[in-house]
């Protein structure tokens, strides 16, 4: 996100992801992990976080996810949001 941007909407960036870190921001303090799931809903990973922004290392993204559409959410309840992995 550009410097000075203030937005409380949970989001992943960059989308589509190609290289570098995959980050999630505006994470709620009441949760402590992000769920990443396949488009069908199968759990891939629960990434623990302790800040309002969490970034996954490029090597971890490539290890866990083949190119495609994935879904994420903070915690284990509520709606998921899509993000795309391309490489």
Question: Per-residue pLDDT tens for 39-77?
Answer: 999 999 999 999 999 999 999 999 999 999 999 999 999
Q: What angle do CA 87, 53, 17 make, to 5 degrees?
A: 10
Q: C-alpha angle with apex 44: 39 to 45, nearest 5 degrees?
A: 130
Q: What is the DSSP letter of 1?
A: -
Q: How confident is the model at residue 6 (pLDDT cuts 50, 70, 90)?
A: low
Which H/E stretch holds residue 35? Answer: strand 33-38
pLDDT band at 9 (very low <50, low <70, confident <90, very high): confident
Burial 61-77 (b: 16+ CB within 10 A, else e): bbeebeeeebbbbbeee
- Record the pTM: 0.87
């Amino acid at each position: 996100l550009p410097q000075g941007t203030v937005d409380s909407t949970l989001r992943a960036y960059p989308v589509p992801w190609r290289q570098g870190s995959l980050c999630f921001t505006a994470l709620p303090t009441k949760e402590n992990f992000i769920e990443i799931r396949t488009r069908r809903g199968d759990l891939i990973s629960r990434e623990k976080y302790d800040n309002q922004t969490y970034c996954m290392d490029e090597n971890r993204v490539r290890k866990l996810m083949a190119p495609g559409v994935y879904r994420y959410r903070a915690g284990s309840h509520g709606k998921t949001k899509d993000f795309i992995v391309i490489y």
